[in-house]
Chains A and B, each alone.
Chain A
Amino acid sequence: MDNTDRMLLMEIEGGIPLSDHPYREIGRRTGIPESEVIRRLQILRTQGVIRRFRARIDQRKAGITANALVAWDVHQADVSSLGARVAEFPGVTHCYRRRPVPGRWDYELYTVHHSRRREDLCNEVAEIAADTGIDTYLVLFSGAEYKRSPTGSLRNRKEQE
């Protein structure tokens, strides 16, 4: 990734312009020809710097109002195989292993779920519990959203440097 790539990503990380030819428009803003904009983005995607290129949705505004983080206490079982198994469930959007805080917080596996109704979400979680045998877990429904921005923001990193 060179400086031109970085400039390009910073230009579009907040979203591509909703114009007839978005890459031409990005080219106009950055002084890079449209074909070069496309070529560079394709390479970044191939290299995996761009993990995905897609719409970011505000699911709450689209009616998906039951959103929860679920913390699972796996009792020192084989966490990575359980994690891989839990991640397979289609309703799981994130699955992480996190370092517990011994004696205060033993939950080590975390999943994120989204649904239109709390009841559906709870059923999905209960199904995972039944399937994996993890019977100690906590469903943490989210309330207010205080902040949500792309995790790997180059613009933000620039500010840090």
Chain B
Amino acid sequence: MKQFPDPVDLKVLDLLQEEFPLIPSPWDALGGRLGLPGSEVLSRVRDLQSRGIIRSISPILETGKIGLRYSTLVAMQVPACDIPRVVTIINEYPQVSHNYQREHDYNVWFTLSTRDEDECVRLVGEIIAKTGLPDEKVLNLVTLDRYKVDVRFRFDGDEQHG
């Protein structure tokens, strides 16, 4: 059995984090850049996806252009034993995209995107009310400016790997 992910997989992962080709045979085009047949690129991608390393190959939409112009990051101090209940409440909202436990007194952090401020205030208020947490256990950190969003992980040439 081959080592997984092998050095070629790492090159595939790097390349797939650039723009995916919008042409009839994208795998061949990617293969051309890697010196591999398109069929091999595809089979490696399938393998990487089946192992959960690739979540999906999909377009990132510009939130402002699809009407989501207001967003916030909310932090909560939740007693450890109460986290499952609170997380269930938060995650039920489709406007919530990310939710993480973090190592701090404020231990639950989630992001929420809405059309406007009113909707944001209403939803955050609703979530806090449902959790039953007092306001002083919650931080509502409204987004004022975005300087960078470029989620990219470098894999090839990372000697620490493995």
Contact = CB atoms under 8 A, between A and B. Distances in A.
B145 A152 contact: no
Interface string B58-81: 111111011110011100000000
Contact of A59 (B61, B142, B153): B153
Classify chain A: how many residues form its interface, as a range.
35 or more
Nearest to B112: A151
A30 interface: no
Interface of A, secondary structure class, is mixed
Contacts of B143: 96-98
A55 B152 CA distance: 9
Nearest to A50: B59
Given A54-B16, A69-B109, A149 B97 contact: yes
A54 B64 CA distance: 19
Contact of B148 (A95, A143, A152): A95
A63 to B, nearest CB: 6
B59 A9 contact: yes
A130 interface: no
Nearest to B17: A54
B54 A55 contact: yes
Nearest to A38: B22
B148 A92 contact: yes
A157 interface: yes
B155 A62 contact: yes
- What range describes how many residues of B lie at the interface? 35 or more
A99 B17 contact: no
A77 interface: no
Interface string B21-47: 011111100000000001100100110
Contacts of A41: 22, 59
Given A42-B22, A62-B53, A151-B113, A56 B58 contact: yes
Contacts of A116: 158, 160-161
A14 B58 contact: yes
A152 B149 contact: no
Interface of A: 1, 9, 12-16, 18, 20-24, 34, 38, 41-42, 44-45, 47-59, 61-64, 69, 79-80, 83-84, 86-87, 92-101, 104-105, 110, 114, 116-117, 120, 138, 140-154, 156-157, 159-160
26 contacts: A1-B66, A38-B23, A48-B62, A49-B66, A54-B17, A54-B19, A54-B60, A55-B45, A57-B55, A58-B52, A58-B53, A93-B151, A96-B143, A96-B146, A98-B73, A99-B142, A114-B153, A143-B103, A145-B101, A146-B101, A147-B90, A151-B98, A151-B113, A152-B61, A152-B66, A152-B113
